[in-house]
Amino acid sequence: MSSEVPYKVLLHNGQHFTLRALACRYVSTTKQVLSWYRTDVFDPSSEGHQSVKRVRKMHLAANRYMERLETRPNGERWISQYWMACTQSSFIRLMVMYPRKVGLGHLKEKDFEGIVHYWRCIGYLMGISDEYNTCSEGLKAFRIFNSNLSEREVIPALLSCTRGQMKLGESVIEALLAAAPGRLIPLTYPAFITFFAQVCGIDGSYRLTNADRFCLWVLKAVFQSSLLGFSFIRHLIRKRILERFESAQAANVNGICDDFIEGLDDQQKPVCPFITKRRQ
């Protein structure tokens, strides 16, 4: 969302104008991704394979719509192989690049090799050619590519995102938290985004409230301590995450705000309140 091209595609396609619509969209997206893991995506009758087909059709429809709306320079496609590859890598970038910071320090290199290979298959099914598939050349090449991508694309985009891009990102997180609210420790957007900014080595200057600081402390205590070295702890956390997702699926979204989100098309470029500079 921090890069202009995918931001425009998201803004003009699908439901991104109310928290209720965002909750429905991204709970559905999570369900789709889970189906890729739980079923055989190469089996035409499986839920995962059908999901991949739907996503490909959505991409084609979105690209056609955007080309009618606005022509890209030099005949470039809105949903190009490049942006498909960037999106592909974003699904597994944090877990592969910073495993110890996101609770996956117990995994071995062969586990990450398997993850990268699987997403090579997902990329293939999504229509990404081997030339652009970020997972085609294995784990080492994936890490090198993503290190370069973060330096040249991701972090510069974060540091220069518009108010509209910031608002859309914030609204997505707020919508998901509204769909699956924490029972004991409510997650907050400032804590959530600060946690992941720090994972990526980016400093934030946003003034956190006491509740935000406590939430951030809990996230670090859970995902960056030795707790997840114990299999039963991992099992409990995984079970809790899946329970929250199931409750989000079954939730009555009518209780989520359906007012139009203001400022999604604001093109002003402020200093991001969460992310100000790359750590030296």
pLDDT at 276: 46
pLDDT at 192: 85
Q: Is 121 helix (H, G, I), strand (E, B) or coil?
A: helix
In angstroms, the Cα distances linking 2 to 34, 154, 166, 209 are 25, 8, 7, 25
> Between 114 and 62, whose confidence is greater?
114
Q: With contact defined as beta carbons under 8 Å apart, do 119 and 141 qualify?
A: no
Kind plus residue range of the DSSP H or E element containing 143: helix 138-149
What DSSP designation does 151 have? I
Q: Which residues contact 126 (CB under 8 A, 6 or more apart)?
A: 52, 55, 56, 59, 84, 88
Q: Alpha carbon 173 to chain centroid distance? A: 10
- 3-55 per-position pLDDT tens digit: 777 778 877 776 666 777 777 788 888 889 999 999 999 999 999 999 999 99
Mean pLDDT of 58-87: 87
pLDDT at 268: 62
> Between 182 and 150, whose confidence is greater?
150
Q: What average pLDDT is seen over the chain?
A: 82
Q: What is the dihedral of CA 130, 78, 98, 227, to 10 degrees?
A: -110
Mean pLDDT of 232-242: 85
**pLDDT of 124 above 80:** yes
Confidence label for 258 from pLDDT (cuts 50, 70 and 90):
low
Confidence label for 266 from pLDDT (cuts 50, 70 and 90):
low
**pLDDT of 269 above 90:** no
Q: What distance in Å separates the CA atoms of residue 248 and residue 255, rounded to the nearest whole number?
A: 12
Most confident of the ranges 95-104, 249-258, 268-277: 95-104
Domain that holds residue 268: 4-278
Q: Which residue has the tokens 């991949």?
A: 52
In angstroms, the Cα distances linking 78 to 62, 179, 181, 209, 211 are 9, 30, 35, 40, 40
Strands (DSSP E) contained in 107-244 are 202-203
pLDDT at 6: 78
pLDDT at 238: 84
Q: What distance in Å separates the CA atoms of residue 23 and residue 92, rounded to the nearest whole number?
A: 22
Residue 247: how many CB atoms within 10 A of its CB? 13
Query: What's phi and psi for 204, nearest 5 deg?
Result: -120, 145
Orientation angle between helical segments 138-149 and 81-97, nearest 10 degrees: 100
> Between 259 and 99, whose confidence is greater?
99
- 189-223 per-position pLDDT tens digit: 888 888 988 888 877 667 789 989 998 999 998 88
**pLDDT of 280 above 70:** no
pLDDT at 183: 63
Amino acid, single-letter form, for residue 211: A
How wide is the angle at C-alpha 103 spanned by C-alphas 83 and 276, nearest 5°?
55
pLDDT at 245: 74
Confidence label for 279 from pLDDT (cuts 50, 70 and 90):
very low
Q: What distance in Å separates the CA atoms of residue 6 and residue 14, rounded to the nearest whole number?
A: 13
Q: What's the pTM value of the predicted model, to 2 decimals?
A: 0.83
Identify any residues that bridge with 277 across adjacent strands, giving them in sequence order: 203
Number of domains in the chain: 1
Q: What distance in Å separates the CA atoms of residue 115 and residue 241, rounded to the nearest whole number?
A: 20
Residue 53: how many CB atoms within 10 A of its CB? 12
pLDDT at 254: 59
pLDDT at 250: 64
Nearest to 187 by CA among 261, 241, 238: 241
pLDDT at 2: 57
Least confident of 57-66, 81-90, 167-176: 167-176
